[in-house]
Amino acid sequence: MLLAWPALAGGFLVNPRSDQYIGGWPVRDFAGQALKAGKGIPEWNPYLFGGLPYIAAMHGDIFYPTALLRLLLPTDIGLTWGFIIHIFLAGCFTYGFLRAWGFGFFPSLIAGVGYMMSGELAGLVSPGHDGKLFVSALMPLTLWFLVRGIRDGRLWAWGGVAIAVGLAVLSPHPQLLQYMLLTCGAFAIYLAFADHPGRGKLTRNVALARLGTAAAAVAVGFLIGAVQYLPVLEYVPFSPRAGGKGWEHAVSYSMPIEELLNTYLPQFSGMLEDYWGRNVIHFHSEYLGAAMLLLAFAGFVGAPERRGFRRFWIGVLAVAVLWSLGGYTPFYHIVYALVPGTKFFRAPSTMLMVVALATAVLAALGTERALSGALSRRYLIGWLAAGLVIALLAISGAFTSMAHAIAASFPFDREEVIDANRGAVALGGLRSLLFLGAAVGLLILASRGRVGAQGLGWGLVAIVALDLWSVERSYWIFSPRASVLYASDPAVEFLNRAEPGRVVVAPTAQGGISARDPAYAGDALMVHRVRLLQGYHGNEIGRYQRLASREQLGDYGNTLNPAFWRLTNARYLYTNVEISDSSVKKLLGPVRNASGSTVYLYRLPGDNPPAWVTSAFVKAGDEATAGTILDPRFDPLRVAVFDSTSSVAAAALKELPAPLAISTRVTRYDPGHIALELSAPAPAGSALVVSENYYPGWSVTIDGRAAVPAIRTDYTFLGIPLPAGATKVSLDFHDPAYGTGKKVTFAALLLALVALGAGLLLDRRRAV
C-alpha cells in the first residue's frame, strides 16, 4: 500500500498521458456497461474505425477475471484495483516459487518485494499496460507449479499449470505470453534433467513423462483461452498486422544500450515527460533497485548445491538482456529468424519482465549468502565505490555530456530536455548511493555481529522496498474519477441528439487543445456512444485502415477526403479552430470539453447516409474496387461493388444506371445490430450497402426471411442483393468462433479443475 493508498479514497490510477487514458478505459467501459445492462459481452464495436469485432480484434481483458471487477465496481475503480491486486500477486507468487524451491523466508521475501516493485512491474501502471502486468504476475506462479509437478511429482500441479497458462492466454497479451512460455519451457527442461541436491536426478523415463505432462497441461491452458484466441486466430488475416510488419517494426522500441544505466540510475535518460532518449516516449521504468542489484550480483557465485539453479538464471538474465536490446545488437537477428511470432510483435524491451524476475531470483541467492555472512567486505566496498563514482559523474555533469553526445545523432532536438534533466540526474546519483550505502552499511554491521540475522533480513527488506518506492511512486499517478475526465459537453450532447453519422476528429492546430485530450487523441467520444471515423486501437480491420490511408492527404490520409466521407457515413467534423470554408456548416462552438480543450462542431457536406440502395451491383477485385470507390467521379448510390470471391451472380453493365429515389431510415443502430427501413420497395437487381465494416459473422434478414451472410462490398463494407419488393432489412453480428471458443474454454477449464482436485486427493492418499 506504499504506492496504492490513494485508491482507498477512490482515486483512479491512470496517467493522463497513457494508452489507458486515451483508449483503454473507454473500450473497457463499453463492455462493462453492456454487462451491467444484462446484454452480455458485446461482439461488435461500432464506435471506432468503421466498426470492428470486439473479441477478435482484442479490446483488453474481456475474459480475464479482472473483468468481474468492472461488473461489480465502476470501470475506473475496477481497473485501478486490477493493477493493485496483480502487483501484490506478482510478489506473492515469486515468494511462493522460491519457497517451493527451498529458499528461506528472507531471500524469498526480498525477491518477491524486489520483483513486484521493480520498474518493469510497478512502472506498468503509468502506460496502463495491465495485460503485461497480468502475465508478469502469472509467470512466477507457473514456475511454482512446474517445480511441484516436475521436480516433486505432485499431481495437482498439472491442473495449476493449465489454469495459469489459460489465464495468461486470456490476459490477453500474446507477446508477453510468448516470453512467459519460453522462460517456463526452458525451466521445465532444466527441472527434468538437472541434478537436484538431496533428491538426485530424475530417471530419463520419469523426466520425459513429466515433461510430456507439462506440455499437455500447457495445451489444456491454451484450450482454456479458446474463447479469446479462436476469434483472434480467425481475425489474423483481417488484421493490419497480417503477415507481420517487417524488421523495422519488430525492432521498434528496442531498449537502447545506454539505457541499461537506468536499471541503477533511473533518471539518466529522464523519467516520464523528462525522457530524452531514442524511443521518443517512455512512460515506464527500467529501475531494478540499487540494493537489489547489489544482492543480485552477489548471487552470481555461491554454494555448490545451488550451482545449476544459479547458472540457469544467469543464462536467462543474459538472454533476456540481449533480447531487450532488440535491434541494437546482432542477437535479435537470431530471434527474428527463429522464434515464431516475433514478426508480429514490436518493442523487444518488454522482455525486461524476464530481466526483472531473473534479477529477483539472483537477489534471493545473494540474500542467502548475505545472511550466512558469505559476502566479503571487499565486495561490499567495491559496490560502494562504484556507487560513489556514479554519483560523482552524475553531479559533475558527465552523464549530461554523454546524453548530449548520444542525442547529437537523433533526427529530433532534445538538447533542452537533456539540460533540464541535469539536476534530476545529480539527485538520482545521490539517491541511489544513499540506498546502496544503507544496504552496504547494514551488511557490514551484520558481518561484525552488530546486527542479527532477523535484523539484517528485515533491514534489507525495508531498504529494498523504500529504494524502489522512492522511484516508482512517480509512476503511480492518480487522477480524478472517470465521470469527471470523460464528462459530457455541448458538442457531445448535440451529437447524441443528431441523426446517425460518424465524426471526423481533426484538430488543425495545437492551440486550444489540452495535452493528450482523449477526445482528440483517443476514444473518449465512444464513451458517449458517438461513432468515430477513426480512433485509437492499433488492431482495426486492415482493409479499412488501408482504405483510410490510401493516396495519403497529409497527416489525415483519406479521413479528409469527401469521397471517403460518403462511404463511411461521415457527417460531422470535431475540431479546435473556426473554419471559414463555406462547404461546411458550423453547428456550435467554441465550447470546452471535459479536458478543457476548445471544440467546434461542423456539418460536413453531402448526405453521407449510413446505408443506401443502389440500382445495380457488379463484382471486382480489391485493387480495382479501392481505386474506383475513392474516385470523385464514382457515385456509390448507383452501383455496389461486391467482392469478386462472392457467390452472387452479377450482371454485366454496359453503363451505370440512374440512382434510385429510395432512401433508408435507421430504426436501430446498436452494437452488432442494425435495422433499416426502405422508403419504397426495392426493385429487382438492386442492392443494399451499409456503412459498417464487413467481417464474417454478419448476417442479413430481409422482411423476416431466413438470414443469409452479408457480402463484402465496396472493398470493406457490408452489402446484400435485394429481392424485388424488399422494405425492411436487419443485420446482426455473431462470431461463430466465439461460440465455439466458449464451449472449448468451459470444457478445458472443467478438465483443469478436475485435474487439480483429483491431483490433490491422490497426492494426499500417496502421502498417507
**Are the beta carbons of 296 and 303 closer than 8 angstroms?**
no
Report the pLDDT value the prediction gives residue 526, as an integer from 0 to 100.
94
C-alpha cell at 316: 536467462
pTM, two decimals, is 0.91
Count CA atoms closer than 13 A to 536's CA, side-chain side: 23
The Cα 194–Cα 199 span in angstroms is 10
Q: Which of 339, 330, 341, 357 is nearest to 257 (CA)?
A: 330
- Angle, to 10 degrees, between the axis of helix 736-767 and the axis of helix 156-169? 150
pLDDT in tens, 482-501: 999 999 999 999 999 887 89
Report the pLDDT value the prediction gives residue 411, as an integer from 0 to 100.
84
Average pLDDT of span 644-658: 84
Look over the chain and give the mean of its residue pLDDT values, rounded to a whole number: 92
Q: Which residues are CB-neighbours of 205 under 8 A, at least 6 positions away? A: none
**Are the beta carbons of 309 and 101 closer than 8 angstroms?**
yes
The Cα 470–Cα 493 span in angstroms is 44
Count CA atoms closer than 13 A to 674's CA, side-chain side: 27
Identify which has the larger pLDDT, 60 or 551.
60
Identify which has the larger pLDDT, 245 or 381.
381
Sheet-wide strand order for 664-670: 664-670, 673-678, 728-733, 698-702, 708-709
Report the pLDDT value the prediction gives residue 750, as an integer from 0 to 100.
98
pLDDT in tens, 656-714: 888 899 999 999 999 999 999 999 999 999 999 999 999 999 999 999 988 899 999 99
Q: How confident is the model at residue 555 (pLDDT cuts 50, 70, 90)?
A: low
Q: Delimit the domains of the chain by residue range.
A: 5-128+239-478, 486-603, 611-734
Q: Which residues are CB-neighbours of 319 under 8 A, at least 6 positions away? A: none
| Other Cβ atoms closer than 10 A to 704 | 8
Report the pLDDT value the prediction gives residue 553, as an integer from 0 to 100.
44
In one-letter notation, the amino acid at residue 353 is M
Grid-cell match 499517478, residue found: 477
pLDDT over threshold 80, residue 557? no
The Cα 84–Cα 81 span in angstroms is 5
Report the pLDDT value the prediction gives residue 243, as an integer from 0 to 100.
66
Average pLDDT of span 400-418: 91
pLDDT over threshold 80, residue 62? yes
pLDDT over threshold 50, residue 153? yes
C-alpha cell at 558: 483519406
pLDDT in tens, 265-293: 999 999 988 999 998 888 889 999 999 99
Report the pLDDT value the prediction gives residue 518, as an integer from 0 to 100.
92
pLDDT in tens, 561-590: 899 999 999 999 999 998 888 889 999 989
Report the pLDDT value the prediction gives residue 551, as an integer from 0 to 100.
45
Q: Which residues are CB-neighbours of 754 under 8 A, at least 6 positions away? A: 159
Q: How confident is the model at residue 303 (pLDDT cuts 50, 70, 90)?
A: confident
Report the pLDDT value the prediction gives residue 510, as an integer from 0 to 100.
67
Helix (H, G, I), strand (E, B) or coil at 335: helix
C-alpha cell at 241: 498486422
Report the pLDDT value the prediction gives residue 214, as an integer from 0 to 100.
97
Say if residue 518 is preceded by a cis peptide, omega within 30 of 0.
no
Report the pLDDT value the prediction gives residue 196, as an integer from 0 to 100.
87
Q: Strand pairing partners for 619?
A: 642
Report the pLDDT value the prediction gives residue 198, as an integer from 0 to 100.
82
The Cα 485–Cα 661 span in angstroms is 45
Average pLDDT of span 609-635: 90
pLDDT in tens, 161-210: 999 999 999 999 999 999 999 999 999 999 999 988 888 899 999 999 99
Q: Which residues are CB-neighbours of 238 under 8 A, at least 6 positions away? A: 56, 541, 542, 543, 695
C-alpha cell at 615: 440500382
The Cα 752–Cα 704 span in angstroms is 44
pLDDT in tens, 506-546: 888 767 788 788 999 899 999 999 999 999 998 899 999 98
Buried b (16+ CB within 10 A) or exposed e, 386-398: ebeebbebbeeee
Identify which has the larger pLDDT, 36 or 362.
362
pLDDT over threshold 50, residue 552? no
- Angle, to 10 degrees, between the axis of helix 105-116 and the axis of helix 352-371? 150
Strands 698-702 and 708-709: antiparallel
Rounded alpha-carbon distances, angstroms, from residue 185 to 64, 125, 143, 244, 453: 23, 28, 9, 25, 36
| Other Cβ atoms closer than 10 A to 740 | 15
pLDDT in tens, 736-745: 999 999 999 9
